[in-house]
Amino acid sequence: MSVTLALNVDQLKTLIGQCNLEEKIELIRYLEKETFESRFRRLLKNLQTDELTFEEITQEVENIRQKHYEKTN
């Protein structure tokens, strides 16, 4: 027997609100697995840029290193 249950987002949120912590964590892990590919592709797309040169990146790294060095001394 197959059954379909239609819920809107608010109803789903209400149901999730009734779950205990362990069930919520299980749902989070499930959603992370289900959405990993699309989140990863979005991250890669956001990271692609022609706006920064290698020299600019190197300079920023050196600036951060210098600030870190100054804090430790």
Per-residue pLDDT of the chain (73 residues; tens, 9 = 90+): 999 999 999 999 999 999 999 999 999 999 999 999 999 999 988 888 777 788 888 999 999 999 998 888 7
Q: Token match 């990863």: residue?
A: 40
Is the distance from CB of 26 to CB of 18 less than 8 angstroms? no
Report CA-CA distances (Å) from 64 to 11, 19, 22, 42, 61.
Answer: 47, 44, 40, 27, 5
| pLDDT at residue number 53 | 83
Please count the CA atoms within 13 angstroms of the CA of 28 that sit on its side-chain side.
Answer: 8
Residue 42's pLDDT is what? 92
**The model scores a pTM over 0.75:** no
On whether the CB atoms of residues 24 and 16 are closer than 8 A, the answer is yes
Query: Given this model, what pLDDT does residue 49 score?
Result: 72
